[in-house]
Amino acid sequence: MKNILCLAFLLICFSISAQNSVGTSLSNVDSIFSPKLTGELYKPDTISSRGEQFFNGQWVESSVLLSTGEKINGVKIKYNGFLDEVIWQNTSNFKQFQLDKSYISEFWLKNQMDSTIHFKRLNITDSTSRNPSGIFVEVAAEGTFSLYIQHKVSHLVDELVAYKYFVIYEKTPLYYIKLPSSLYFRLSELNRKTFLNVFPEQKKTLSKMIRVNRLNLKTEKGLIRAIDLMNQNGLIN
Amino acid sequence: MRKLVLKTPFILFLQLVALTCFTMQARSAVQEAVYLQTDRMTYIAGESVYYKMYVLDAATKKRSDLSKMGYIELRAPKSDPTLKIRVKVDAGIASGCFVLPDTLSSGLFQVVAFTSFMRNQGEQSFYQSNLVIVDRFDKKMDFKNIKSGKKDTSSCHQADSLPWIVTDKKVYAPREKVVVSLGKTHCKANVSVSVYELSGDTSTEKSVVETLNGWSVNQLLKGYLPESRSKILRGRVIDAKTRKNIQTATVLLSCPDIVPNLQYATTNANGLFQMSLGAYYDGKELFFTLKDVPEGTSWKIEMDDNFNLSEKWEPELVSEKHLTDTFLLKSQDIVSINKSYKTEVDAIEDSLITKEPICPQLFRCPVKSIYTSDFIPLNDFREIAVEILPTVSISKHDETYKARLVSFLGNEYADKEPAIFLDGVYVDDINKIMGLGSDKILKIDVIETERTFGDLVFYGVISIITKSNEILKTKPTSSSLRIKNDLTNSSKSFVAINPNTIKDMHTPFFRQLLYWNPNLELKGSDQTNLEFYTSDNIGNYTLKVVGISEDGTPVNYSSCIQVITPENVLVK
């Protein structure tokens, strides 16, 4: 009996190892010929600051979908909400590069819980944007109606503390609701009134939905839930 | 304890058996095999050869989705290949046609078909079959043929007792419609159907069953990667003097375009590098350059030929021809008639929705573009830099020029040279562009910042686009290489003509190939019907259905029809 068990164990082990070796050689094809990221050297600010320019403080392994439709996995990136740019740390030379914005369509940041946060580049022209290639937004909900969050970081007035100037950065998220007609509405503040103003013809239905589901539209969570419910209920604007 | 000692060799033996079995199984799981089906086995030089290529998993015999490129070569005995064709494989299938050169002399030719990944199994695993090609004007035809004891697989036979291919009649008059019904298969199958005039003799064609049964699992020998995306080009960097392999050398590839483009690879311990050439590179001039070659060295790039076969074909030819001369003479006459009356039908290109090829652009950011036409004429690039490129500084040391750009942070010039691109191609030496003045340069793009392209870092970029592709006139250095990439053979279809639609009824309509459909999907449960027309060519025709079913079972059926004169039809 022991022999049989021992043999079975060996068979399983070798089978796995043999299959793995083949799998590895085939996955090599993709890694060897994966497209190359392009960008310019990024020099981090050395000025003392309060608050963060980055959405994610740590370099996280991420996937990037390029505008050519190709995907690159396992790259270490950070999203800079102040510049609205993606910064890549090249692990071969440890230099940081600001990736060419128009080359990036989407990216997925892996967070500590092993889940991913999906970002997308929207071709929206923002008067405050430094780059004409659109804006990066987090995909909060997608369907007939979509909700995107731009994790914008703003530079507030410099603060003088103990004879030293501090740059103050503050998170100032913006919310974009995409209608079935592909029109975008931007919400700079979250409340029931601004939300209902986006859908003037559906005010009654939406008010009822908010009341029945006890949605708090002053919170991001409440807004996402509202858009999800609108998609589930098949609401058409 | 004694028991354990006794058992140890047994366990070790089992271990060894298990390891061998599973390694073999795993390797065979990703091995490929190719079968090539041609519309006929005998051709007149100048005719089209219609083909269908199957790329199959050697172990399961099912269609392989691994390789996306296939290679077909045509070669005469003891000669270099006459034709080299690269085909695009989709889900294990490629079909199309190629035209035999008019200049081919009569003789026996070999068709070799393979994928790059099959090179791991050795060239003996490549598909090989023979074709007879006859020069249209060669009436002597004193060429030698190969001795074959096998009977032509295309002769009339039915695999089952019940006919699988059913035609509405067995005997037809010229220009008459033929209705064919193909039987059921146990599962879905993709087959090719050809109807051609029987040569009436033996041939050396390998049937699909014979080919599939002949495959064996071989050991993987070399590190050839499957071309699962596109063509993979392999090369080597060596020292031209010592012939030693150079490792960790960076090979850059770009081709003439209106945007700077780049691809790179680093050599391994054996000096080998590989690059994936997508559709963007099809038919283009490829410029290979070595980056940062140490001074005083003679590094050189050598490329592998994807079509390379290590040995020339040396069949045992005998004087006797197996094909009757009368058949070949008739074939020559038919081709001549069709040429005289211009009734040859060219294959039509399949209208496929193809994606726009991806250009590996060096940068995708806004750049400062300067058009020389906006300024007064300037004699050379040095003058251009001084007058209209404020961030570019050109200096001269010992008769060689060097370029510098304003650095990222301020007005100082960076201590390293920027990357220079001429007509989209990376050039390793700024001196190659120094002679270019406003009369030749159309546009200059300058990026002052330090740039990355994958793991490569460039200290700024100067890209020059000329009015008449000056890059093609530059002389490559010893560490550079320029080659022309081949084109993928386009997918073309056979045009079946309804003779009743020919306006002038007196126009001759002679065909030896009546029908060719490389991609007929058999549903399995239902019968499949097809129809075609006979021509004015009287003779016996073979109707052949060859393919592979979904579960990897070969499909191989054939049947015969006869075309006789209308008078004889009435008598019959």
Q: What is the pTM of this model?
A: 0.84
CA distance A41 to A80: 14
Within-domain flag for B44: no
Percent of chain B whose predicted confidence (pLDDT) is above 70: 84
CATH number assigned to the domain comprising residue B386:
2.170.130
Q: Is residue B398 part of a domain?
A: yes
Which residues have a Cβ under 8 Å from the Cβ of B253 and sit 6 or more positions away?
A: B262, B263, B264, B265, B275, B286, B287, B288, B289
Q: For residue A142, which of A169, A111, A177, A108 has the smallest C-alpha distance?
A: A177
**Range ranked top by mean pLDDT from A54-63, A194-203, B247-256, B311-320:** B247-256
Tens digits of residue pLDDT in B128-180: 999 989 999 988 777 777 665 444 444 344 444 456 899 998 999 999 999 99
- Of all residues in chain A, the percent with pLDDT exceeding 90 is 58
Higher pLDDT, B459 or B163: B459
Cα B135 to Cα A224, B86, B335, distances in angstroms: 75, 25, 11
The answer as to whether B377 is a domain residue is yes
Determine, for residues B274 and A32 on separate chains, whether the beta-carbon distance falls below 8 Å.
Answer: yes
Selecting from B274, B409, B449 the residue whose C-beta is nearest the C-beta of A40 gives B449
Would you call B30 an interface residue with chain A, using a CB distance cutoff of 8 Å?
yes
User: From CA B205, how far away is CA B470, in angstroms rounded?
Assistant: 50
Look at residue B72 and tell me if it is in a domain. no
Distance from CA of B455 to the nearest CA of A (A): 7
A19 pLDDT tier (thresholds 50, 70, 90): very low
The Cα B173–Cα B167 span in angstroms is 14
- Whether residue B363 lies within 8 A of chain A, CB to CB, comes out as yes
Residue B403 lies in a domain: yes
- Distance in Å, alpha carbon of B14 to nearest chain A alpha carbon: 7
Q: Side-chain half-sphere of A124: how many Cα atoms within 13 Å?
A: 23
Decide if A233 contacts A143 (C-beta within 8 A): no
Domain span holding position B395:
368-475
B450 — contact with chain A (CB < 8 Å)? Answer: yes
Distance from CA of A134 to the nearest CA of B (A): 13
Please state, in angstroms and as integers, the Cα–Cα distance from residue A6 to each residue in A15, A194, B4, B19, B111, following that order: 14, 68, 13, 14, 51
Partner A contacted by B16 (CB < 8 A):
no
What is the domain count for chain B?
A: 1
In a domain, B554, yes or no: no
Pairs of residues, one from chain A and one from chain B, whose beta carbons lie less than 8 Å apart: 112
Please check whether residue B245 lies inside any domain of the structure: no
Rounded Cα distance, B508 and B497, in Å: 13
Cross-chain residue pair A38–B22, CB shorter than 8 Å: no
Give the number of C-alpha atoms closer than 13 A to the C-alpha of residue B140, restricted to the C-beta side: 4
CB–CB contact B7 A21 (8 Å)? no
Question: Which residues are registered as beta bridge partners of B195?
Answer: B515, B543
Can you give the pLDDT at residue A142? 94
Q: Which of B162-176, B297-311, B557-571 has the lowest mean pLDDT?
A: B557-571
pLDDT in tens, B45-76: 999 999 999 999 988 889 999 999 999 999 99
Q: Return residues 224-283 of B near A (CB < 8 Å).
A: 225-226, 228-229, 232, 262-264, 274-276
Which residues does chain B have within 8 Å of residue A69's beta carbon, measured at their own beta carbons? 355, 358
- CB contact, 8 Å: B12 with chain A? no
- The C-alpha of A162 sits at a distance from chain B's nearest C-alpha, in angstroms, of 29
Q: What whole-number distance in Å separates Cα of residue B5 and Cα of residue B185?
A: 57
Q: For chain A, what's the residue count?
A: 237
Distance from C-alpha of B107 to C-alpha of B319, rounded to nearest angstrom: 11
Q: In chain B, what residues touch A130 (CB-CB under 8 Å)? A: none
Of B15, B232, B452, the CB nearest to A38: B452
Name every residue whose Cβ is closer than 8 Å to that of residue B93 and which is 6 or more positions away in sequence.
Answer: B52, B53, B54, B55, B63, B190, B519
Flag the least confident range among A22-26, A118-122, B221-225. A22-26
Q: Which residues of B touch A15 (CB under 8 A)?
A: 22, 25-26
User: Which chain B residues are Cβ-neighbours of A101 within 8 angstroms?
Assistant: 365
Q: Which residue of A has its CA nearest to B447?
A: A40
Interchain pair A90, B452: CB under 8 A: yes
Domain-embedded: residue B200:
no
H or E element, residue A14: helix A2-32
Nearest CB among B18, B262, B455 relative to A10 is that of B18
For B572, residues 6+ apart whose C-beta sits below 8 A from its C-beta are B171, B564
Residues in A closer than 8 angstroms to B360, CB to CB, are 35-36
